[in-house]
Amino acid sequence: MKKGINKTKVAGIIAGFLLAGSAAQVQAAPAHNKNVIGYLTQWEAWKGTSAGFSVKGEATHLNVDMDIYSILNFSFFGVAKDGTLHSGDLRNKDINKPDSVQEPGPLLHPDVYSSWDFHILWGELEYIHQYPVNEPWDAENLAKVTAQGFVKSGKGWRHEPTGIEGNMPIPLKKEGGAPGLIDLANQKGVKVMASLGGWSMSKHFPEMAADPVKKERFLNDLDKLMALGFHGIDIDWEYPGFGGMNFAGDPADFANFEQLMEDIRKRIGPDKLLTAAFSASTAKLEGFNWPRLVKSMDYFNMMTYDLNGGWSNVTAHNAPLYPYPEEEYAGLDLDTLRIWMAEKGIPSEKINFGAAFYGRGVQTTEAEAYLGAPTDKRMYTMSVDGPLLTAVDVDNWKEFEGSPNYNYIVKTPGWEHKWDASAEVPYAVKGKYFLSYDDVPSMKKKAQYIVDHDLGGVIVWQVHGDIKCEGTFINHGTKLKECTKLSSPLAEAIDDVFSADITPNAAPELTVPATQAAQSGETISFSVSAIDADGDSLSFSSPEAQITDNGNGTATVTYTAPNTATDMVTSVMIKVTDGRKSVTKSVVVNVKGSGVVENTAPVLTAPATVAVESGQDVVISVAATDAEGDNLTYSSSIGQVVATASGADITVTAPITTEDVTLTVVVTVTDGQASVQQTVVVNVTGQAAGGDTWSPTTEYSGGDSVIYNGITYVAQWWTKGETPGTAAVWVEETTGEIGNWSANKAYVAGNEVIFEGNNYRAKWWTKGNQPGDVNGPWERI
């Protein structure tokens, strides 16, 4: 591939506002068969020289090497409390605080002066400061706004295709101006995904996925995103079953996530992409039904970064390729995750591993930092997470809050750079400070690992982390700036490996028959065919039917229509691949109903195992579907059953025991005619000697309670290995009685104390902050 984009101006712009129905078979820009998926954020464009960029506005779509990337994920849209989507620029900045919620908002930020949404997605803008009138002298402007879908709404405007409203000016695409992200990507053969969620905008995913009304609002907004021209949807729910920023997880999240993927697939159709970001911790992956996800999703984007950082108790690597002796917790590396996923039978070509274009810096307790050194934690208020007990290094990387971009790391002097031959990644030290990052050699090793194990490719967080402008800038309007010669050393290193010995490849051409007809429950067969200009061997597949490859570029598809009393329309998705590129088409099947309702047993989804501490309650969330839509009734061999919108919650109280034991719970669901059962194993962790229940090897979610040194603590978020009484994640449980304030005790919003004879209530999480300061965390009551 050509390195260092030389361009005087990005030529051309696709006419019209909408790009709906973009060709599903667009050739990806790279010549190789690997995914290079880059996250492009809406906030990075605000950053300037203090963050390693040449100018503010450099970090936009105009400065991405689209000869390297095959997919770009525009990040992020958030989920509001009612299930609707909103611009990431409208994120509730206080969402980290207890009881905070995300209010609904526009899909794109309507203020072109305080947001980059329109500038990135639509490109160079022309502002119309008042809505044109139907007069000859204003005819040109009226034609422009009408052609791009704008109508007058009160004193402002409304964009009809998306429902977005805003105040003046109207943000028109400038004719002949620099193209927007989707326009430019289409010119380059790159696909653009709408990425939803992220660490600070995932709070309302669980309730949306569990509530049919909220989910329908969510799906309706997906329609608007697809109307904007996006080629697919990327879900970044952090994390199903375990919770995240200011919310707890629930075992029902896993089944709800799986159902959500199927609902999205049905909504966007078989020819659009559907991906999701997943944790690299296998503990957070066990609850998924992976065969079910494989059927509905195109790729699994594994976040094999952020594996260590300011939360860690010892210095360790951000994104290690292999295990290493100094690691705090075993299993947090790319190789271990790959092996686990292979054992689960997850197709390797659907797996993309993370490539971090940034590092993570921490401070240590040692005068000279080293790999495995104890970290030095203190309370620090992060811009997104709020107050945290963290070892993050803001002395050297304040602009980045401890996570500097690669392009800033390489230009920062004073660090001693080293190589870990076990993990096969670099790191750097300077006095008491430690920095984990990736460089060109480590990126090449990871890329080669992906090639060697036939994995799908990489996901890059984020695309501007390594860019360097080696030319000059062209201004496009007041905000957009385009570098005439751009280098991306980490992305180029990946591309070098993926492109080695690769010859150009054309996608196969697939031919499928017209609409088919079948009776209820009937098995039908039809033929499909494909040709490949390169003469590559072809293979056919279908998630709904059996495929017999005839070996001559044709295949026989055998499909059994569903049993249905009424007429219905279904489809069979056919995929052909030459091993490097694939094409998918659907065959519509009109099914004639039998007029007779035949009953089929419900399909029950329940976790295989759950864990609980001695004497504690655990809620087992189950769900079921019924082909005939019959009412379902749930029962359990032990525990209390409560019906939910998506199934049932079974509350089981673990026995008080000093030894680890297991319980067997048999869950039954019936539609009144047929019943199915599934067994759930409950692993009960025995109470530690002396009455303590906390264990350093157990994972806890927000809301879990433990006993340590005779004191009961409640976890505020997910944690493992952090000792109660010393870590901010644990808050001493209150009895409801108001006690005297203690400098050694952590308090959360709503806790009340007595100090110097006066009563105070905490406004947010606090520890060591004395009541009495009106600007502090305490209010007098």
Torsion region of 585: left, alpha or beta (phi above 0 gives left; psi -120 to 50 gives alpha): beta
Phi/psi-derived region of residue 19, left when phi > 0, alpha when psi is between -120 and 50, beta in every other case: alpha
Half-sphere exposure of 48 (CA within 13 A, CB side): 3
In a domain, 706, yes or no: no
Question: Given a cut of 70, is residue 412 above it in pLDDT?
Answer: yes
Domain end, chosen from 465, 499, 533, is at: 499
Co-location of 401 and 429 in the same domain: yes
Same domain, residue pair 164 and 273: no
| Residues 442, 300 share a domain | yes
Q: pLDDT > 70: what percent of the chain?
A: 94
Residues 223 and 256 occupy one common structural domain:
yes
For residue 654, is it within any domain? yes
Residue 9: the pLDDT is 30
List strand residue ranges (DSSP E) for 567-660, in order: 568-577, 582-592, 603-605, 609-613, 617-625, 633-636, 640-643, 647-653
Give the CA-trace dihedral at 406, 34, 284, 438, to 10 degrees. Answer: -20
Q: Is 776 inside any structural domain? A: no
Do 108 and 129 share a domain, yes or no? no
CA distance linking residue 148 with residue 91, whole number of Å: 27
Chosen domain end from 452, 470, 499: 499
- Give domain status of residue 751, yes or no: no
Q: Which residue has the tokens 């193209």?
A: 179
Which CATH number characterizes residue 190's domain?
3.20.20.80
Q: Which amino acid, 122? A: W
More confident residue, 700 or 47: 47
Residue 276 falls inside a structural domain: yes
pLDDT of residue 586: 86
- CB 123, CB 178: distance < 8 Å: yes
Phi, psi of 508 (to 5 degrees): -65, 160
* CA distance readout (Å), 46 to 42, 56, 58, 120, 153: 8, 6, 9, 12, 30
- pLDDT for 688: 59
Residues 211, 169 share a domain: no
Structural domain includes residue 236: yes
- The confidence score (pLDDT) of residue 501 equals 61
Q: Which residues lie closer than 8 Å to 578 by C-beta, 6 or more apart?
A: 505, 507, 508, 532, 534, 536, 537, 538
Is residue 87 assigned to a domain? yes
Whether residue 585 is found in the same domain as residue 609: no
Q: Name the residue range of residue 168's domain.
A: 125-173
Instruction: Tell me the CA distances in angstroms from 302 to 99, 299, 341, 390, one per residue in order.
Output: 30, 9, 11, 25
Residue 530 lies in a domain: yes
3 state SS of 596: coil
Q: Is the pLDDT of residue 472 over 50?
A: yes
Average pLDDT value for residue range 410-425: 96
Measured from the Cβ of residue 768, the count of other Cβ atoms closer than 10 Å reads 10
pLDDT digits (tens, 9 = 90+) for 669-723: 999 889 999 999 999 888 755 567 777 778 787 777 888 877 888 887 778 888 8
Residue 502 is predicted with a pLDDT of: 65
Q: What is the per-residue pLDDT for 211?
A: 93
Task: Let me know: does 36 contact 460? Beta carbons within 8 Å.
Answer: yes
385 and 265: one domain? Answer: yes
Residues 52 and 146 in one domain: no
- CATH number, domain of 545, equals 2.60.40.10
Mean pLDDT of 309-335: 96
CA distance 722 to 704: 14
Q: Let me know whether 583 and 618 are in one domain.
A: no
pLDDT of 737 reads 63
Residue where a domain stops, chosen among 687, 703, 719: 687
- pLDDT above 80 for 632: yes
- Give how many domains the chain has, as a whole number: 4
- pLDDT value of residue 19: 35
Q: Does the predicted TM-score (pTM) go above 0.75?
A: no
**Do both 569 and 610 map to the same domain?**
no
Same domain, 523 and 453: no
Q: Once rounded to an integer, what is the mean pLDDT over residues 134-149?
A: 92
Residue that wins the pLDDT comparison between 706 and 289:
289
149-164: pLDDT as tens digits: 999 998 899 988 878 8
Residue 457 has a pLDDT of 97
